[in-house]
Amino acid sequence: MNTMKNKVALITGASSGIGKSTAEAFAAKGANVVVAARRKEELDSLVASIEANGGKASAIKTDVSNAKSVEQMVAHTIKEFGRLDYAVNNAGIEGKLSGITDLLEEDWDQVLDINLKGVFLCMKYQAKAMLNAGNGGAIVNIGSVNSFLGFPTGSAYVTSKHGLVGLTTSVSAELAPQGIRVNLLCPGITDTPMHQRLRGIVGDDLYDKGLLPTVHLQRVGRPEEMANAIVFLCSDASSYISGSTLTVDGGLTLTM
């Protein structure tokens, strides 16, 4: 079903995990896709696989924490495909997990620069392009269950994800009157390279016996399940949803 034919989707953090699945999901709906991240080789092979399946895609090496790089990412999108309809601000890092007394200033800055400032920069340039074109649009930022819940050693990551709630609701209030909806998708535990790294730090035992039983669905989520919800938040099926947080976590945040 090519319901997004002739539309253009820009996805950051598309070289891996949720972002990669999201790019594939948009392409499957017929959208032209721009994929952005720092690792260009991974992006190039994603573009090749989307094109092998009959889609159209383009890659741009981007560091979302750098304003110039983000401005170039949006300019590349307009140059390649002439418009921007959907933007998914998914790039993120877990950073170095560390107790507050040991957390280094540079480690705090790196997480906040990518996860929070990066989303601000992306929306700044994406919104300019969408407003200039006057076609409306949809922006989905990627938060986390840690947009609501903290955990020990996670203060930088958790703060960055909490910040996205305020950033998303404020920008929705600015842009929705002009036809651009802005929402926050909050994934639960999702099987990606980030998840595998965190599992390695926390340990299989704590993951399997401590964390998984708190998920109502009793399993880890799949990247495609996040991608489906992200595509929904961009589609006309969610035309009255803006400024919202959608938690896709199998029930994790509802458990005491």
Q: What's the min distance (Å) between Cβ of 86 and ligand NDP?
A: 16
Can you spell out the DSSP letters for 10-21?
EEESTTSHHHHH
Q: Which of 175, 180, 189, 229 binds ligand NDP (CB under 6 A)?
A: 189
Residue 62 · residue 12 · CB < 8 Å: yes
* Buried residues in 100-132 as b, exposed as e (16+ CB within 10 A): eeebeeeebebbbbbbbbbbbbbbebbbebbee
Structure tokens at 128: 């300019």
Residue type, 63: D
Under the binding rule (CB under 6 A), the answer on residue 219 touching ligand NDP is: no
Under the binding rule (CB under 6 A), the answer on residue 140 touching ligand NDP is: no
Give the chain's length.
Answer: 256
Q: Which of 22, 190, 238, 247 binds ligand NDP (CB under 6 A)?
A: 190
Q: Which stretch binds ligand NDP (CB under 6 A): 33-41, 209-217, 228-236, 239-247?
A: 33-41
Under the binding rule (CB under 6 A), the answer on residue 192 touching ligand NDP is: yes
Under the binding rule (CB under 6 A), the answer on residue 154 touching ligand NDP is: no
User: Residue 222 has what DSSP assignment?
Assistant: P
Enumerate residues 6+ apart whose C-beta is below 8 A from 13. 19, 36, 37, 64, 90, 91, 92, 142
Q: What's the min distance (Å) between Cβ of 64 and ligand NDP?
A: 4
Nearest to 37 by CA among 57, 20, 54: 20
Rg, Å, the chain Cα set? 17
Under the binding rule (CB under 6 A), the answer on residue 59 touching ligand NDP is: no
Under the binding rule (CB under 6 A), the answer on residue 147 touching ligand NDP is: no
Q: Which of 195, 229, 233, 252 binds ligand NDP (CB under 6 A)?
A: 195
Complete edge-to-edge strand list for the sheet that includes strand 86-89: 57-61, 32-37, 8-12, 86-89, 137-142, 180-187, 245-248
Under the binding rule (CB under 6 A), the answer on residue 150 touching ligand NDP is: no
Q: Which is nearer to ligand NDP, 6 or 41 (CB)?
A: 41
Query: Which stretch of DSSP H or E encloses residue 89?
Result: strand 86-89
E-strand stretches of 171-238: 180-187
Give the count of residues interacting with ligand NDP (CB under 6 A): 29
Q: Which of 32, 77, 126, 144 binds ligand NDP (CB under 6 A)?
A: 144
Does the annotation count 207 as an active-site position?
A: no
Q: Which is nearer to ligand NDP, 114 or 215 (CB)?
A: 114
Under the binding rule (CB under 6 A), the answer on residue 64 touching ligand NDP is: yes
Report 7-26 residues binding ligand NDP (CB under 6 A).
12-19
Under the binding rule (CB under 6 A), the answer on residue 58 touching ligand NDP is: no
Residues noted as catalytic:
157
Q: For binding to ligand NDP (CB under 6 A), which residues are involved? A: 12-19, 37-39, 62-65, 90-93, 114, 142, 144, 187, 189-190, 192-195
